[in-house]
Amino acid sequence: MAARRALHFVFKVGNRFQTARFYRDVLGMKVLRHEEFEEGCKAACNGPYDGKWSKTMVGFGPEDDHFVAELTYNYGIGDYKLGNDFMGITLASSQAVSNARKLEWPLTEVAEGVFETEAPGGYKFYLQNRSLPQSDPVLKVTLAVSDLHKSLNYWCDLLGMKIYEKDEEKQRALLGYADNQCKLELQGIKGAVEHAAAFGRIAFSCPQKELPDLEDLMKRENQKILTPLVSLDTPGKATVQVVILADPDGHEICFVGDEAFRELSKVDPEGSKLLDDVRSHSVTQAELEFLNSSDPLASASKWL
């Protein structure tokens, strides 16, 4: 499965200005591309919403070799109720820790040199206070599971992931497709996994020719397919094919054809300008209040 790679995690965001401040000014990520859509996605990339929405990709480097965040914004929706499904993203960056302290962004040291913080909306991030690694600073995404053994059968036996670490006592396992990629950590919890309205989605790529086989495998194994193989259009950019799956706990998983996705995901040098142009025409009341706050870092000129 060396041809498969981890791509991004999808977050729904209710306030783009506060969210932008966190990802850019605290974490130190950059805008990679921004896209606007007039109606809901055929694969529900923006959740179960039919109206106008936007997608902003942010990360430490190009999507070809970095795990990034996909920030989806549904116009008119200001917040989303959190579940217990998403447990955090861990990254290595002493600069992010320094930025958070400088900006007085709340930090809690949960282990030696590891700080917990939250993105707007309540999404947890864990910052390791060490230099950026030569590869991707984003180390792992942690998702809650109700039955670790059952989840491992799904992610490893069906999706072909390798087990890097496993701790039966702590009910956790670290999985991945390659040593130099962001890993998926499964953490067992007591009780059911609840996704609520803020549920996200983790995305991977594979050769496009594998998508029909992957879909057929899930059908044979009686696994849930949320969206059968479909083509998704992005205005002015490449069309990609995707299959959307759900694991035993209902975590959404997107597999996209790698060849077209590499074309779609090229860094757009106009990404920040596109956001600025959108900003000037579509500021919500909550965003306006944020922009008019006394914090100089909240000024419009600092938005992404």
Number of H helices, E strands in the chain: 7, 16
Amino acid at 66: H
Cα–Cα distance for residue pair 179/2, rounded to 1 Å: 10
Average pLDDT over residues 246-267: 97
Which of the four pLDDT bands, split at 50, 70 and 90, describes residue 77? Answer: very high
What pLDDT digit, counting tens, does each position of 284-301 carry? 444 445 444 444 344 333
167 falls within a domain: yes
267 falls within a domain: yes
Average pLDDT over residues 21-50: 94
The per-residue pLDDT for 185 is 98
71 falls within a domain: yes
302 falls within a domain: no
Give me the domain span that covers residue 42. Answer: 5-289
To 10 degrees, the CA torsion angle through 254, 91, 262, 201? 20
Does residue 53 carry a pLDDT above 60?
yes
CA 257 to chain centre: 18
* Structural domains in the chain (count): 1
Q: What is the mean pLDDT of the chain?
A: 91
298 falls within a domain: no
The answer to whether the CB of 55 falls within 8 A of the CB of 71 is: yes
What pLDDT digit, counting tens, does each position of 94-138 carry? 999 999 999 999 999 999 999 999 999 999 999 999 987 778 999
Could you tell me the sign of the dihedral formed by the alpha carbons of 69, 143, 45, 74, in that order? negative
296 falls within a domain: no
- Nearest CA to 59 out of 35, 37, 32 is that of 32
187 falls within a domain: yes
Domain holding 170: CATH number? 3.10.180.10
5-12 β-sheet, strand order: 30-37, 53-59, 68-74, 5-12, 201-206, 252-257, 240-246, 225-232
CA atoms within 13 A on the CB side of 41: 26
- Nearest CA to 200 out of 251, 247, 159 is that of 251
Cα–Cα distance for residue pair 86/144, rounded to 1 Å: 6
Strand-strand pairing, 172-176 and 162-167: antiparallel
Amino acid at 106: P
Angle at 278 between CA 272 and CA 280, to 5 degrees: 105
The per-residue pLDDT for 291 is 47
Distances from the Cα of 41 to the Cαs of 25, 173, 215, 263, 288, in angstroms? Answer: 29, 32, 20, 19, 27
The per-residue pLDDT for 98 is 97
- Nearest CA to 175 out of 245, 253, 240, 58 is that of 253
74 falls within a domain: yes
Q: What pTM does this model have?
A: 0.91
Which of the four pLDDT bands, split at 50, 70 and 90, describes residue 168? Answer: very high
Structure tokens at 111: 């282990």
To 10 degrees, the CA torsion angle through 278, 279, 283, 286? 130
What pLDDT digit, counting tens, does each position of 183-226 carry? 999 999 999 999 999 999 999 999 999 999 999 999 999 999 99
